[in-house]
C-alpha cells in the first residue's frame, strides 16, 4: 500500500519549494490553503495551523529618495549601485528568492525563521557544515551583535539587515568601489572575507566553502543595476512631471469673473 500524502506533508513540500526558490511564495500559500480547505470538515478544527503571513514588498527594488540623507537611524542611503550589490550578495548567499522579502527570513540550510524581532542565534547542521548564519546576508550571531551595537539597530527586519550589510561593506573598505557601479574582481575579493560565497582573486572561497564564479556575480549584478537605474530615472521623471504640472496650474482668486479672461 502506498503511503498517504497528508496535509502536513503537503504544506512542508510547499514551504521547501519556496525556500529553494522553485515557486513564488503567493502560489505556494494559495495552494497550501486550498489543500487545507478541501480536506477539512466545517465541523472539525483546521488540519493545518495558519501559515505565517510574509509580506512581499519588493524591497530588492527599494531605493532611497532623492532628498534622503544619512541619519543616525539610517546611516547609509541606498543608491541603485548599493542595492545592486546587496541583491548580488543575496544571490551569492542563496537568499535571493526571486527578490522577495522571504529571503530576509532564511537561516543556514534553507529553513525559515518565524520572527524578525532578533537574530535567531541557532546552529544548523547541514551536509558537511554547521552554522548559525541567518538573514538575507547570512549574518553570524557575533557579527550581527557587532553591527547592531555599532549602528544602534533594533530588531532583525529587512531595513536593519540592509543597513547592517552596508556597514560590513564599508568595514571592508569596499564602499568606494561599490559606488562606481561596477562589479570587479577586486570588489568581490574585498568582500570574500565577509561572505564566503564571494570569490577571492584566485577564484576560491576565502574559507574553503562553495563559491560563486565571478562571471555569475557580474552578470547578476549588471542585470540588477540596469533595472534599478531605470526605477531611479522613472522616479525622477515622475517628480519632474509633478513639479511641472504644479507650476502650470494657476489658482484663480476673486473676483471670479476675471478667471475667464
**Chain segment 175-194, per-residue pLDDT in tens:** 999 999 999 999 999 999 99
Q: Are 228 and 86 in contact (CB under 8 A)?
A: no
Average pLDDT, the chain: 82
Distance CA 102, CA 18 (A): 9
The residue ranges of every structural domain in the chain are 1-51, 59-231
Does the structure show a pLDDT above 90 at 65? no
Which residues have a Cβ under 8 Å from the Cβ of 201 and sit 6 or more positions away?
A: 185, 186, 189
Sign of the four-CA dihedral 153, 155, 156, 158? negative
The dihedral sign for the CA sequence 201, 203, 107, 60: positive
| pLDDT score of 10 more than 60 | no
What is the pLDDT, as a whole number, of residue 54?
Answer: 40
Question: Could you tell me the pLDDT band of residue 137, with boundaries at 50, 70 and 90?
Answer: very high
Neighbours of 52 (CB within 10 A): 11
**What is the predicted pLDDT for the residue at 25?**
54
What CATH class is the domain 59-231? mainly alpha
Residue 116 — very low, low, confident or very high, per pLDDT cuts 50/70/90? very high
Rounded to two decimals, the pTM is: 0.74
Amino acid at each position: 500500500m502506498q503511503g498517504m500524502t497528508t496535509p502536513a506533508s503537503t504544506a512542508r513540500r510547499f514551504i521547501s519549494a519556496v525556500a529553494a526558490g522553485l515557486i513564488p511564495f503567493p502560489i505556494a500559500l494559495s495552494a497550501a490553503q486550498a489543500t487545507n480547505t478541501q480536506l477539512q470538515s466545517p465541523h472539525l478544527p483546521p488540519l493545518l495551523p495558519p501559515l505565517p503571513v510574509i509580506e512581499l514588498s519588493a524591497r530588492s527594488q527599494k531605493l532611497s529618495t532623492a532628498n534622503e540623507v544619512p541619519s543616525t537611524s539610517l546611516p547609509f542611503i541606498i543608491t541603485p549601485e548599493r542595492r545592486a550589490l546587496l541583491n548580488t550578495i543575496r544571490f551569492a548567499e542563496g537568499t535571493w528568492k526571486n527578490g522577495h522579502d522571504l529571503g530576509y527570513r532564511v537561516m543556514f540550510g534553507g529553513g525559515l525563521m518565524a520572527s524578525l524581532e532578533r537574530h535567531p542565534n541557532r546552529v544548523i547542521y547541514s551536509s558537511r557544515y554547521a552554522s548559525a548564519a541567518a538573514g538575507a546576508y547570512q549574518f553570524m550571531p557575533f557579527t550581527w551583535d557587532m553591527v547592531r551595537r555599532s549602528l544602534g539597530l533594533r530588531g532583525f527586519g529587512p531595513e536593519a539587515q540592509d543597513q547592517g550589510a552596508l556597514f560590513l561593506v564599508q568595514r571592508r573598505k569596499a564602499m568606494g568601489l561599490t559606488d562606481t557601479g561596477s562589479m570587479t574582481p577586486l570588489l568581490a575579493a574585498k568582500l570574500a572575507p565577509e561572505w564566503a560565497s564571494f570569490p577571492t582573486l584566485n577564484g576560491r572561497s576565502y574559507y574553503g566553502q562553495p563559491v560563486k564564479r565571478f562571471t555569475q556575480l557580474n552578470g547578476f549584478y549588471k542585470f540588477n543595476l540596469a533595472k534599478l537605474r531605470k526605477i531611479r530615472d522613472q522616479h525622477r521623471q515622475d517628480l519632474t512631471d509633478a513639479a511641472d504640472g504644479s507650476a502650470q496650474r494657476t489658482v484663480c482668486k476673486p473676483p471670479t469673473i476675471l478667471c475667464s479672461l
